[in-house]
Structure 1
Amino acid sequence: MGLIRMNTYKITLIALLASLAVVGRYVFAFLPNVQPVTAIIIIAGFWLGPLAAVVLAVLVTFLSNIMLGMGIWTIWQVAAWAVIGLASGLIGKYWSNIPLLLLAAFGALSGIFYGLVLSVTMYSFAGSFWGYYLAGLPFDLYHAAGNAVFITMLYPVFSRLFQRYYNQWIPA
């Protein structure tokens, strides 16, 4: 679906999505690991392409971590969200008529993947991978469930926005 080329409208759309994701992450900070960032990155990647999703992942991570706390984990958050965005962009490019429930399932698996990436890279501070990973697994499951819910709620709204973008700004 997404083109590699970036125009002013697409950059503005990415900035708007980054703002929504940052605000969403901040607003939902009281719920551990339940926030709309991953869902927004997945939906944006699906509609705008892999490059847009990676740019969005970088923006959201750094901007939200300025408010919520910056640390070594920021690098791995960027990496995990960028891979998720890249994968969702490829799904959108090669399977643009994926059912919403499968996209929500991909979102749930992305929550588990995100937690695994952070656990693999951060366990050295904890000393034991399995202890660190198993302690964080409930939070990864919250993230997975939150992603599925956010995708189910946001996809219908965002798909109309992105469809309008394609009808208005992308030449046939």
Structure 2
Amino acid sequence: MARFRIPLIIAIVLFISGLALTAALKDRHYMLLSLVLLLAALLPVFIRLERRPLESRELVLLAVLSAIAAVSRIPFAALPSVKPVSAIVILSAYVFGAEAGFIIGAVAALVSNIYFGQGPWTPWQMFAWGMVGLSAGWLRNAWWMKKRSGMLIFGFVWGFLFGWIMNIWYIISLPDASSWGLVAAAYASSFYFDLAHALSNVFFLAILAGGWTKVLERFRKKYGLLQE
């Protein structure tokens, strides 16, 4: 199992390095950096090609799930932090694993911002949603994750973790990012948005977990998609 995690760890290190670079560049070159991070997110796929060739339908599946996750943001654009993206990424990773979850989360953030607007926040969203998928994939065999309540709690927790990751981008963009008062104010002001994201994750997971998971598992078993 360790050999399957090494490409993901490399991708995560590249992502973190890229995010550190955004702190130095501030608001400059964010689009180029987002594309570089997209290649980092796809690194596990490139390395997988050395183990066995990916079938075209597997690439199509990743593209379709990424598109679904991205488009799902649009109907809820008027509701800040309420979005089914995290739920879709979690369920996709639960069925197809950490590699798929990481890629779907990162790609969904980049693609959806074609509609919502690209900015220096894009690389951070790519990382945050990528980590949602990565952690869901790594924990999918845990006994509590197999329970509906466990998955709902997982989604609730990630509603806050996602916001806390995004707060880092906001804090480093402030002129006095070293002020603990500003840091505390940033996290306090984001609480209700993070809570809305957490509750929406629970809501969408409760709706989608049954039917959505069964459909994806049926595709995986029937066509042998993204098997380790």
Do the aligned residues in 2 keep the contact of 1:25 with 1:35 (CA within 8 Å)?
yes
The aligned counterpart of 1:74 is: 122
Paired residues, what number? Answer: 170
Task: State the TM-score, normalizing by the size of structure 2.
Answer: 0.69
- Structure 1-normalised TM-score? 0.90
- 1:55-74 correspondence runs (5 A): 55-74=103-122
AA aligned to 1:114 is F
Structure 1 residue 112 and structure 2 residue 166: aligned?
no
Superposed displacement of residue 163, structure 1: 2.0
Partner of residue 160, structure 1: 214
Shift of 1:14: 1.9
**Cα distance in 1, alignment partners of residues 217 and 110 from structure 2:** 28
Query: 1:136: how far off?
Result: 1.1
Distance 1:76 1:66, change over 3 A: same
Deviations 1:58-92 (A, max 9, x none): 21111101110111111111111111111100112
Cα 1:170–1:94, aligned 2, differ >3 Å: closer, same or farther? farther
Query: Which residue of the partner structure matches residue 80 of structure 2?
Result: 32
Structure label with greater radius of gyration: 2
- How far, CA to CA, are the matches of 1:167 and 1:11 in structure 2? 16
Secondary structure at 1:92 match in 2: coil
SS at 2:146 equivalent: coil
Give the Cα separation in 2 of the matches to 1:104 and 1:48. Answer: 18
Instruction: Say what the alpha-carbon RMSD is for the aligned residues.
Output: 2.1
Deviation at 1:96, TM superposition (A): 8.7
Which residue in the other structure is 2:21 paired with?
Answer: none
For 1:35-46, what aligned pairs fall within 5 Å after superposition? 35-46=83-94
Contact 1:119 1:133 in 2 (8 A): yes
**Which residue identity does 1:144 align to in structure 2?**
A
The 10-residue stretch of structure 1 (99-108 or 118-127) with the greater mean CA deviation from structure 2: 118-127
**Higher deviation after alignment, 11-20 or 70-79:** 11-20
Question: 1:19 matched to which residue of 2?
Answer: 67
Which runs of 4 or more aligned residues in structure 1 lie more than 6 Å from their structure 2 counterparts after TM superposition? none
In the TM superposition, residue 95 of structure 1 has moved relative to its aligned partner by 4.5
Segment of structure 1 superposing worse, 17-26 or 41-50: 17-26
The alignment partner of 2:140 has SS state of helix
- For residues 22-47 of structure 1, the C-alpha deviation after alignment (integer angstroms, 9 at most, x for no partner) is 22101111111000111111111111
Same amino acid, percent of matched pairs: 28
Specify every segment of 5 or more residues in structure 2 that has no aligned partner in the other structure, as ranges. Answer: 5-47, 177-181
Judge conservation of contact 1:49–1:93 (CA < 8 Å) in 2: no
Contact 1:111 1:140 in 2 (8 A): yes
CA distance in 1, matches of 2:123, 2:129: 10
Residue type matched to 2:184 in 1?
A: W
Equivalent-residue separation in structure 1 for 2:173 and 2:145 (angstroms):
43
